Amino acid sequence: MRLLNYQPWALLRASGHNDGSEYDLSVMTGADISGEGAGGGVANGALLLRFATAAWAGDAGDLAAARTEIAETMGAAALTDTAAVVALFDAIDRVADATGIPLEDQKAAITADFRSTIGIDDFAAADEKGYST
Amino acid sequence: MTEINYQGLPWPVRDDVTAAQRRAWERLGRAGTWLTGAERIAVAAETRHAPNCTLCQQRKDALSPNSVNGRHDQLGALPELEVEQIHRIHTDPGRLSRAWYRDLCDGGVAEERYVEIVGVIATAVAIDTFTKGLGLDLWPLPEAQEGMPSRHRPAAAEQQMAWVSTLSPQDAMGSVDEDLYGGRPTVGNVVQAMSLVPAEVRNFFDLVTHQYLPPAAMMDFATEYRAISHAQIELAAGRVSALNQCVY
């Protein structure tokens, strides 16, 4: 039985497998979101990362610039759908963290090869969730 | 009551997103399972207030949040320990710990109220982060409605995989909460996370379905359901999860 995932790192990789792309997952945890390859191979990825980062940080100036970039490059509907996803994950992360749910064994197994590489295992909560290596 | 309405923006918000947020906002003001409508509104207001708290800012900057003591800057409508819960979940979710949760419970926070408060925080964050993302003012919180909490606790809920008690899909079968997981025999832990208070699962995952994707669409990579692709959705989602230091 395949578990519904809700884990974006694993779903991004799975999406790449489906369309024959190998996305660079490390851009999601990286500090540099403006350099070459910042989008990890995802179309307009750098714009999306800039928007997500500015929305999370609440930086009005960066956010306004990111909104304009996405709307002009990807279209107005893409902007509102991106804002909806960013906001939803800002919320669902808190549900996961506040209730102390562990990562399922199945998900831990399929993400083991990249969690350490891209820095997820270094998050403070990794020890709390009992799978940090 | 102010109704959530995104008409007139230069960017079109899907009707189903607006409708889901309206439902969530309306539910926010109604009596819940363990909290009155007034208490639910107080939780949402305290959630909005948390980023202004000096203690929370000092803790966020500290190597360990436990190394900084003090009192929260608060609105005064909720008990101190519930303010601690709300502020920590909102301002430093990646460094919550089982010991912190146990301390709250040992101090008198009931796990049923704790879980409902998590649901209210999540609802407020999902809508507030969206409006801020679009450069809009936050919607006024709804007015609290009269009514008593239902105090429904699933009989089979128990401590099993999370800090809080949860209702497994198997145990939901044949119960009054049979609909909770759509009849699926297995679901991800995050879907079960708030199942001690089933109404919060239904409420929040209504938003999940519309702001993110319905369950059936999540891994249907052959079809795109939004104006951004699956890969673009997951990239943006993953960035936020990384910034929140969420390992799930």
B247 closest CB neighbour out of A25, A63, A125? A125
Q: Give domain status of residue B196, yes or no.
A: no
User: What is the number of structural domains in chain B?
Assistant: 2
Q: Do residues B23 and B104 share a domain?
A: yes
Could you tell me how many CB contacts below 8 A there are between chain A and chain B?
302
Among A73-87, B1-15, B64-78, B224-238, where is mean pLDDT lowest? B1-15
> B11 pLDDT exceeds 90?
yes
Closest residue of B to A79, CA-based?
B11
Judge whether B233 is closer than 8 Å to chain A, CB to CB.
Answer: yes
Q: Tell me the mean pLDDT in the region B75-86.
A: 98
Per-residue pLDDT of B157-190, as tens digits, reads 999 999 999 999 999 999 999 999 998 899 999 9
pTM: 0.96
The ipTM estimated for the assembled molecules is 0.98
Please tell me whether residues B29 and B135 are part of one structural domain. Answer: yes
Q: Do B246 and A91 touch (CB under 8 A)?
A: no
B231 or B247, greater pLDDT = B231
User: B85: burial class by Cβ within 10 Å (0-12, 13-18, 19+)?
Assistant: buried
Question: Does B7 reside within a domain?
Answer: no
Percent of chain B clearing pLDDT 90 (strictly above): 97
Averaged pLDDT of chain B: 96
Whether residue B247 and residue A23 make contact (CB cut-off 8 A), yes or no, is no
Do B149 and B229 fall into the same domain? Answer: no
Q: Per the domain annotation, does B50 fall within a domain?
A: yes
Q: Is residue B160 in some structural domain? A: no
User: Which residue type is seen at B223?
Assistant: T
Shared domain check, B223 and B143 = no
Q: Tell me the pLDDT of chain A (133 aa) as tens digits.
A: 455 567 898 899 989 988 899 999 999 998 878 877 789 999 999 999 999 999 999 999 999 999 999 999 999 999 999 999 999 999 999 999 999 999 998 888 888 888 889 988 888 888 776 554 4
Is 80 exceeded by the pLDDT of residue B42? yes
Can you give the pLDDT at residue B1? 66
Nearest CB partner across the interface for A94, out of B17, B93, B184: B93
Rounded CA gap, B233 and B211, in Å? Answer: 11
Same domain assignment for residues B118 and B229 = no
Last residue of a domain, one of B102, B119, B153: B153
- The helix/strand/coil state of B39 is helix
Is the Cβ pair A93, B241 closer than 8 Å? yes
3-state SS, B144-180, equals CCCCCCCCCCCCCCECCCCCCCECCHHHHCCCCCHHH
**Same-domain status, B22 and B140:** yes
* Of the residues B153, B178, B205, the one at which a domain ends: B153
**The pLDDT of residue B96:** 96
Range of the domain at B222: 216-248
pLDDT above 70 for B148: yes
- Would residue B166 count as lying in a domain? no
Among B153, B173, B197, the domain boundary falls at: B153
Give A72 to chain B, closest Cα distance, Å: 11
A25/chain B closest Cα distance in angstroms: 8
Residue B21 shares a structural domain with residue B129: yes
> Given CB atoms, is A122 within the 8 Å cutoff of chain B?
no
User: Could you please report the per-residue DSSP string of chain A?
Assistant: -PPP---HHHHHHHHHHHHT----GGGGT-S--SSTTTTTTSTTHHHHHHHHHHHHHT-HHHHHHHHHHHHHHH-HHHHHHHHHHHHHHHHHHHHHHHHTPPPPHHHHHHHHHHHHHHTGGGSHHHHHTT---
Q: What is residue A133's predicted lDDT score, i.e. its pLDDT?
A: 43
Claim to verify: residue B227 and residue B117 sit in the same structural domain? no
Q: How far is A36 from chain B (nearest CA, A)?
A: 16
Q: How far is A131 from chain B (nearest CA, A)?
A: 10
A129 to chain B: which residues are within 8 Å by CB? 247-248
Q: What is the 3-state secondary structure (H, E, C) of B48-105?
A: HHHHHCHHHHHHHHCCCHHHCCCCCCCCCCCCHHHHHHHHHHHHCHHHCCHHHHHHHH
pLDDT of residue B235: 96
Phi/psi at B169 (5° precision)? -60, -35
The domain spanning residue B86 has which CATH number? Answer: 1.20.1290
B110 domain residue, yes or no: yes
Residue B58 clears pLDDT 80, i.e. is over it? yes
Residue B54 lies in a domain: yes
Domain assignment present for residue B165? The answer is no
Cα A60 to its chain centre, rounded Å, is: 21
